[in-house]
Amino acid sequence: DRVVGVLGGGQLGKMLCQAASQMGIKVAILDPLKDCPANSVCHEHVVGSFNDGDAVREFAKRCDVLTVEIEHVDAVALEKLEKQGVVCEPKASTIAIIQDKYRQKGHFSKFGIPIADFVEVDTLSSIENAGEMFGYPLMVKSKRLAYDGRGNAVAHNKEELSSVVSSLGGFEHGLYVERWTPFAKELSVIVARSRDGCTVCYPVVETIHKDNICHVVEAPAQIPEKMKKLATSVAEKAIKSLEGAGVFAVELFLTNDNQALLNEVAPRPHNSGHHTIEACYTSQYEQHLRAILGLPLGDPAMKAPAAIMYNILGEDEGDSGFVLAHQLIKRALNIPGASVHWYAKPEIRKQRKMGHITIVGPSMFDVKAHLDRLLQRDTDGPKKVRPRAAVIMGSDSDLPIMKDAAAILEKFNIPFEV
């Protein structure tokens, strides 16, 4: 009979509601948009701003536990509610840390989490000094309200600093810079933490970005087991430094010299975990509900050998954009192992996340082939025949040799299974 209150009613809130429905859990949402994605599937929709302290306090009266599907909420109001005995998961202190990316970097640095060098900048001379210290290109970031590529800009030389600062709203907006990180891959680890502090980690995935927006997620990441363990270790250590229960997404850079550097953390279900609905025994959405309600955490392991998540992004404005998106969905419905999630947002804009498609299959080679078909790649030419190989070990002692064999197969882009 407990009611979960969710601040925000976007697509993440919608999928939380869908998971809650299967579990018989009532979910109320607080969102300013009457036709937000979660409106059609929640138990109750309170129209109001999650940045309005009064609205949040009033909303809390109808809920047994409060959580978030977006971190840009009134953390001060949550802190006051906690002092009054309201259960908030994750804790207001965690939300406050993650809201401010500069503060977030400082927090993880204090706990020894590997991150790129960073420094606050508030004048032109300070950012010029940072450029001399870190070199170029230089990553310039807003401290707050930065996501999906917003709030980030790159200065390639000293002459670009002034225009980059202006593009981010000026120093008064709150800026910091990071040393540029040359990376081989971008990774993500979904970590679930229970109320009693126990954690479980989902398999490491690779996120493929274009124009600073996630386009594709490959699960599991096609990286050596040693690097998977390193990324998971960094992610778990980061989440253990925070307070509260729930699902967290830890985004990392895998560098060319085999380091796993933390990029940023989200205190909620995440785009990089959408595939868990079809590909894992426990979806990230069910897991979040289990965690915040004090229920046993579920099995995060994959039940399908491979999965790819493809974001349906707006390709155009208005009716034309909807037509293009619906054409993509129609093709997806003809692909084995594909599941379509349409968020039902009333307006479409370029690069706006409108839905996603998850494809599961027996191998990464197979799901990539289905993705190529979905995106109509190489449809005019003859089918390309690609060799496949199976790597079989007699015992664990064969691993060093087999790893070298796998590296050679990867070098020549030959798909294989171990």
Count CA atoms closer than 13 A to 312's CA, side-chain side. 27
Distance, in Å, from the CA atom of 409 to the CA atom of 392, rounded to the nearest integer, reads: 14
Q: Which of 216, 193, 360, 220 is nearest to 301 (CA)?
A: 220
Lookup result for tokens 């030389």:
157
Distance, in Å, from the CA atom of 259 to the CA atom of 304, rounded to the nearest integer, reads: 28
Count CA atoms closer than 13 A to 390's CA, side-chain side. 3
- Provide the pLDDT for residue 173: 86
Angle (CA) 235-240-244 rounded to 5° is: 120
Q: In the predicted model, what is the mean pLDDT of residues 243-257?
A: 97
Q: Tell me if 190 sits within 8 A of 284, measured CB to CB.
A: yes
pLDDT digits (tens, 9 = 90+) for 131-164: 999 999 999 999 987 666 678 899 999 999 999 9
Residue type, 328: L
Q: Tell me if 205 sits within 8 A of 187, measured CB to CB.
A: yes
pLDDT digits (tens, 9 = 90+) for 346-396: 999 999 999 999 999 999 999 999 999 999 876 444 444 455 677 666 665
Q: All domains of the chain, ordered by start, with CATH?
A: 3-88 (3.40.50.20), 117-179 (3.30.1490.20), 183-382 (3.30.470.20), 385-418 (no CATH)
The radius of gyration of the chain's CA atoms, rounded to the nearest angstrom, is: 22
Distance, in Å, from the CA atom of 23 to the CA atom of 371, rounded to the nearest integer, reads: 32
- Provide the pLDDT for residue 377: 76
Sign of the torsion formed by the C-alpha atoms of 38, 44, 46 and 51: negative
> In sequence order, which residues have a C-beta less than 8 Å from that of residue 76 and are 6 or more positions away?
53, 92
Distance, in Å, from the CA atom of 147 to the CA atom of 129, rounded to the nearest integer, reads: 26
pLDDT digits (tens, 9 = 90+) for 290-309: 999 999 999 999 999 999 99
- Provide the pLDDT for residue 150: 72
Structure tokens belonging to residue 137: 């290109």
Statement: residue 16 has pLDDT above 70:
yes
Percent of residues, the chain, with pLDDT higher than 70: 91
> 179: pLDDT confidence band, cut at 50, 70 and 90?
very high
Distance, in Å, from the CA atom of 186 to the CA atom of 252, rounded to the nearest integer, reads: 6
417 vs 251, higher pLDDT: 251
Statement: residue 76 has pLDDT above 70:
yes
DSSP 362-400: SSHHHHHHHHHHHTTTT-SSPPPP---EE---SSGGGHH
Q: Around Cβ 179, how many Cβ atoms within 10 Å?
A: 16
What rounded mean pLDDT belongs to the chain?
Answer: 92
pTM for the whole thing?
0.88
DSSP 8-state class, residue 280: B
> 1: pLDDT confidence band, cut at 50, 70 and 90?
confident
DSSP H stretches of helix in 140-269: 161-167, 225-240
Statement: residue 53 has pLDDT above 80:
yes
Q: Tell me if 193 sits within 8 A of 245, measured CB to CB.
A: yes
Give me the count of residues in the chain: 418
> 110: pLDDT confidence band, cut at 50, 70 and 90?
very high
Q: Tell me if 139 sits within 8 A of 180, measured CB to CB.
A: yes
Distance, in Å, from the CA atom of 33 to the CA atom of 14, rounded to the nearest integer, reads: 13
